[in-house]
């Protein structure tokens, strides 16, 4: 077997001790599945790589594939940093993930149906009441509402990491408005443009049919005949940091992108204002939070939202994707119980592992957490993007004391997990012009229609671009990679 | 189509056209200043007047600065407080295009975005410093590329109709003001050397992109009256006021609700009709003819028409000449 040193670009590549590397084995040798591809990539010179990386970045900027950094009128827009060295997933690993993700979404859907319906689980397990009903993301006034088409989690983004042994573990469920899929599509376009022969050799499954699948999924849950249904994407507007994605989805699905002010509700039906008068809307892929959907239902002070939208939804006249109220199932404390949901609702063993989690609302967990703050990662249940976190092993005494007080004051808002040694992936470092080892996670996207779930073969691989960092969020210096899922060998 | 999107299409067209026009007028004025042997203020004042920016400019730099070509160019290129400056106009065009990114074609968007990034970045500033002519030319070409691409890469449907409506209404206003300002200045001058006079009329034609078309249709005979008639009435010239208003009439007919579906769009059409009516050759001859009054009616009539369009199609009343952003 050829060693990595033979290949120019990967010369001197070293693995972080204890971490599982996605592309290289423990001795720095390419994993057998990816041998051919790594030889091809490795034959590129640093000069050539610098050139194609710059080319790709320029293309993204000109195309406006950006996110807004702040929201003033001439706010800065930046491209999402990315690395052209793809992250690969073998066909065997993917088959396992696909099964596990499908199962997980099925269990989470059953959980949501139950919690907004009979609440069988809570009757049998009263000790879970505080955890489940204690989150502000549970919306009690929606109890008894069955969404049109019966689907609640049309689009799920489930974050996975890989531990030191290479075992995939679920880190987080995103069941409200998971973002990032447009970067998956755009990264692939770049890969095709700058690494065509590598991509071809790697036998990679395509991702570009996602928008068509999404449109089909959304239509399939419409209260009207799918062929006669009007689907729209609802955005908070061009100053939202994810606006590129919103317009990308509307454009690639061939549907209209609307602002809340374009819509109104009459007679529990939703209409869009057009130059030829009102037109009925049947399905709304909304990219705004529950709390801003309808001032009548949630925040009377808010000028955002569409007055009466929730009434129209409850009457079964419009589909909202994802359904309002899903937040209860992706709350970080509720997450701890998903393996139990899988057993309870499906009578199956969980296919995917997940990270052991201490729920501070439980007394014995809380005691353990407070005694082991130096070893644990503490997270606030209702904050995203890597905010509201304590990275125990890297924390100062003051930070730990601050979190101790916060946990004691509001235990329900905190969970803690052991720090997992995230897997790494060879990543181009422009400053040193070499390939370095950086930690990654993976967010696959799962679409669910009344006919069942479909997993996009690929996903957003987020990478911590700073040496030593575990934080992959774009808001905290993370970047992305294209994820190449290999085809089954015939 | 969604009313907000129609509005943003309309303004995308207007801003692109305005940017092209500003760049063209500055480019041509720079050329005129080199060979017309005119006092500098007679060169540069009209550039400000065409865009209705004399007041803003004077407040910032004083009236005497109208003789300072560099100050005028800097103002009409980089001034954030001017609704006609290139930096503002192209920002607004790009902002509209970005907001309706799913409506404009990818090619069209990329050109607008690239131009915006170029202007705001080092490359644009370097070009402005080292080659003014090339700077304006680049802007003009990119805008024309974008407008051309919109016609060849988008569905020929309502969004494009609104973009083009914005273009022709902006253009008719620009041509009318260009003609008004220059005609006023040039005819008011002491009757001087015929060659100088001819150079002025030619520069006016160039500022309206009409030099070659005019020469073709007039076999090279240049007079002030002929140039005025050409820019105002020539039905075959795409920047003449008449051509633009006739085009606007066509788009408004396409956009208006079909018969039997209410009155939508009928008011706009009714407002346009009397404007078109006045654009006859007789309007420029005889003792009653008054070019300035006619042009003023065109400029005012067009801006009233724009307000009416906003009310009928975008569901809002709009202040003169501006877009309500982010509303």
Q: How far is B109 from chain A (nearest CA, A)?
A: 8
Domain A224-317 has CATH 3.40.50.11290: yes
Q: How far apart are CA A361 and CA B33, in angstroms?
A: 79
Segment A26-49 mean pLDDT = 88
Give the per-residue pLDDT at A74. 61
CA–centroid distance for A46 within its chain: 32
As a whole number, the mean pLDDT across chain B is: 89
Give the per-residue pLDDT at A385. 63
Residue of A nearest to B105 (CA): A251
Segment B292-311 mean pLDDT = 93
Q: How far apart are CA B43 and CA B23, in angstroms?
A: 15
Whether B251 is covered by a domain: the verdict is: yes
CATH class of the domain whose range is A356-418 = alpha beta
Q: How far is B145 from chain A (nearest CA, A)?
A: 15
Give the per-residue pLDDT at B182. 83
Q: How far apart are CA A11 and CA A4, in angstroms?
A: 6
Q: How far apart are CA B50 and CA B173, in angstroms?
A: 9
Structure tokens that stand for A454 in this block: 């479909």
pLDDT tens profile A339-397: 999 999 999 999 999 999 999 999 999 999 999 999 999 999 877 666 778 888 888 99
Whether ipTM tops 0.90, in short, is no
Peptide bond into A437 cis (omega under 30): no
Q: How far apart are CA B223 and CA B203, in angstroms?
A: 12
Give the per-residue pLDDT at A73. 55
Diameter of chain A by CA atoms? Answer: 70
Which residues, 6 or more positions from A385, have their beta carbon under 8 angstroms from its beta carbon?
A473, A475, A476
Segment B169-179 mean pLDDT = 94
* pLDDT band per the 50, 70, 90 thresholds, residue A204: very high
DSSP H helices, A195-316, are: 196-201, 210-220, 243-253, 309-314
Chain B neighbors of A257, CB-CB under 8 A = 100-102
Q: How far apart are CA A105 and CA A158, in angstroms?
A: 9
Contacting A with CB below 8 Å, chain B residues are 1-6, 91, 95, 98-102, 106, 109-110, 113-114, 117, 158, 255, 257, 261-262, 264, 313-315, 326-327
Q: Phi first, then psi: give them for residue A21, nearest 5 degrees.
A: -95, 135
Of A237, A238, A274, the CB nearest to B1: A274
Whether B320 is covered by a domain: the verdict is: no
b/e map of B182-204 (b: 16 or more CB within 10 Å)? bbebbeeeeeeeeeebebbbbbb
Give the per-residue pLDDT at A75. 60
Q: How far apart are CA A203 and CA A184, in angstroms?
A: 17
Give the per-residue pLDDT at A5. 42
* pLDDT band per the 50, 70, 90 thresholds, residue B36: low
Whether B322 is covered by a domain: the verdict is: no
pLDDT tens profile B238-258: 999 999 999 999 999 999 877
pLDDT tens profile A393-408: 888 999 999 999 999 9
Is residue B193 predicted with pLDDT exceeding 80?
no
Domain that holds residue B276: 3-314
Predicted model pTM: 0.88
Chosen from A275, A280, A284, A287 to mutate, greatest number of chain B CBs within 10 A? A275
Which residues, 6 or more positions from A132, have their beta carbon under 8 angstroms from its beta carbon?
A115, A121, A122, A138, A328, A334
For chain A, the C-alpha Rg in angstroms (whole number) is 23
Give the per-residue pLDDT at B325. 42
Q: How far apart are CA A65 and CA A51, in angstroms?
A: 19
As a whole number, the mean pLDDT across chain A is: 90
pLDDT tens profile A253-281: 999 999 999 999 999 999 999 888 889 99
CB A149 within 8 A of CB A132: no
Of B6, B95, B262, the CB nearest to A275: B6
Is residue A476 predicted with pLDDT exceeding 70?
no
CB contact under 8 A, B114 and A62: yes
Q: Check residues A320 and A197 and name the one with the higher pLDDT.
A: A320
Is residue A473 predicted with pLDDT exceeding 80?
no
Is residue B324 predicted with pLDDT exceeding 50?
no
Bridge partners of residue A418, in order along the sequence = A376
Of B1, B100, B113, the CB nearest to A64: B113
Q: Check residues B77 and A242 and name the one with the higher pLDDT.
A: B77
Number of domains in chain B: 1
CB contact under 8 A, A273 and B3: yes
Give the per-residue pLDDT at A20. 96
pLDDT tens profile A48-85: 889 988 888 888 888 888 877 654 556 677 888 889 99
Segment B98-112 mean pLDDT = 94
Whether B80 is covered by a domain: the verdict is: yes
Domain boundaries defined on chain A: 224-317, 356-418
Chosen from B101, B260, B265, B314 to mutate, greatest number of chain A CBs within 10 A? B101
Contacting B with CB below 8 Å, chain A residues are 61-64, 74, 237-239, 243-244, 247-248, 250-251, 256-259, 261-262, 272-277
Q: Check residues A489 and A186 and name the one with the higher pLDDT.
A: A186
Give the per-residue pLDDT at B326. 34
């Amino acid at each position: 077997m050829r060693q990595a040193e033979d290949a120019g670009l990967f010369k001197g590549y070293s693995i972080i001790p204890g971490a599982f590397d996605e592309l290289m084995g423990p001795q720095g040798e390419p994993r057998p599945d990816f041998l051919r591809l790594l030889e091809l990539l490795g034959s590129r010179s640093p000069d050539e790589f610098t050139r194609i990386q710059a080319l790709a970045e320029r293309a993204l900027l000109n195309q406006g594939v950006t996110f807004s950094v702040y929201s003033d009128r001439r706010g800065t827009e930046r491209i999402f940093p990315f690395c052209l060295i793809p992250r690969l997933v073998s066909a065997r690993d993917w088959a396992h993930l696909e099964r596990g993700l499908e199962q997980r979404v099925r269990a989470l859907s059953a959980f949501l149906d139950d919690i907004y319906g009979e609440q069988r689980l809570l009757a049998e397990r009263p000790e879970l009441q505080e955890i489940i009903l204690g989150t502000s993301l549970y919306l009690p006034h929606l109890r008894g509402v069955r969404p049109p088409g019966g689907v609640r989690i049309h689009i799920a983004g489930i974050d996975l990491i890989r531990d030191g042994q290479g075992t995939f573990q679920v880190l987080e469920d995103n069941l409200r408005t998971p973002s990032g899929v447009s970067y998956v599509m755009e990264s692939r376009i770049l890969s095709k443009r700058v690494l065509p022969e590598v991509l071809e050799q790697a036998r990679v499954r395509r991702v570009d049919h996602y928008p068509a699948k999404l449109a089909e999924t959304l239509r399939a849950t419409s209260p009207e005949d799918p062929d006669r249904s009007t689907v729209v994407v609802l955005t908070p507007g061009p100053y939202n940091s994810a606006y590129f994605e919103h317009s990308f989805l509307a454009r690639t699905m061939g549907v209209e992108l609307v602002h809340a002010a374009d819509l109104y509700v009459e007679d529990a039906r939703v209409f869009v204002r057009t130059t030829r008068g009102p037109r009925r809307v049947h399905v709304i892929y909304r990219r705004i939070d529950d709390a801003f959907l309808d001032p009548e239902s949630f925040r009377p002070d808010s000028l955002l939202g569409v007055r009466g939208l929730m009434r129209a939804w409850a009457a079964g006249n419009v589909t909202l994707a994802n359904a309002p109220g899903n937040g209860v199932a992706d709350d970080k404390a509720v997450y701890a119980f998903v393996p139990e949901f899988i057993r309870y609702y499906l009578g199956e063993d969980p296919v995917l592992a997940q990270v052991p989690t201490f729920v501070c609302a439980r007394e014995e967990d809380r005691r353990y957490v407070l005694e082991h703050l130096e070893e644990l990662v503490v997270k606030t249940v209702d904050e995203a993007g890597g905010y509201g976190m304590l990275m125990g092993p890297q924390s100062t005494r003051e930070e730990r004391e601050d979190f101790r007080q916060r946990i004691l004051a509001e235990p329900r808002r905190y969970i803690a997990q052991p720090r997992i040694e995230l897997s790494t992936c060879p990543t181009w470092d422009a400053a040193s012009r070499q390939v370095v080892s950086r930690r990654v996670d993976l967010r696959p996207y799962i679409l669910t229609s009344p006919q069942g779930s479909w997993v996009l073969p690929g996903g957003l691989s987020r990478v911590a671009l700073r040496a030593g960092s575990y934080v992959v969020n774009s808001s905290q210096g993370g970047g992305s990679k294209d994820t190449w899922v290999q085809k089954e060998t015939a | 189509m969604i009313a907000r999107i129609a509005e943003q299409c309309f303004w995308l067209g207007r801003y692109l056209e305005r940017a092209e026009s500003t760049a063209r007028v500055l480019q041509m004025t720079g050329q005129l200043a080199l060979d017309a042997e005119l006092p500098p203020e007679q060169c540069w004042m009209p550039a400000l007047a065409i865009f209705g920016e004399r007041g803003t400019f004077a407040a910032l730099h004083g009236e005497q600065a109208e003789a300072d070509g560099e100050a005028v160019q800097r103002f009409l290129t980089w001034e954030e407080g001017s609704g006609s400056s290139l930096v503002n106009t192209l920002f607004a065009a790009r902002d509209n295009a970005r907001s309706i990114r799913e409506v404009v074609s990818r090619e069209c968007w990329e050109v607008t975005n690239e131009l915006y990034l170029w202007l705001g970045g080092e490359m644009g500033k370097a070009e402005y410093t080292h080659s003014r002519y090339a700077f304006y030319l680049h802007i003009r070409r990119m805008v024309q590329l974008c407008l051309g691409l919109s016609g060849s890469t988008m569905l020929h449907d309502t969004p494009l109709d609104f973009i083009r409506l914005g273009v022709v209404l902006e253009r008719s206003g620009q041509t009318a003001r260009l003609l008004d300002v220059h005609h006023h200045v040039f005819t008011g001058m002491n009757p001087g050397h015929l060659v100088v006079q001819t150079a002025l009329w030619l520069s006016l034609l160039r500022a309206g992109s009409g030099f070659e078309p005019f020469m073709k249709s007039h076999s090279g005979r240049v007079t002030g009256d002929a140039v005025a008639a050409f820019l105002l009435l020539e039905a075959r010239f795409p920047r003449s006021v008449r051509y633009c208003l006739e085009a606007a009439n066509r788009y408004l007919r396409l956009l208006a609700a079909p018969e039997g579906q209410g009155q939508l769009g009928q008011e706009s059409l009714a407002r346009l009709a009397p404007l078109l009516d006045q654009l006859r050759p007789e309007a420029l001859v005889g003792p009653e003819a008054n070019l300035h009054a006619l042009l003023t009616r065109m400029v005012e009539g067009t801006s009233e028409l724009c307000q009416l369009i906003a009310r009928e199609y975008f569901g809002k009343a709009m202040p003169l000449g501006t877009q309500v952003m982010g509303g």
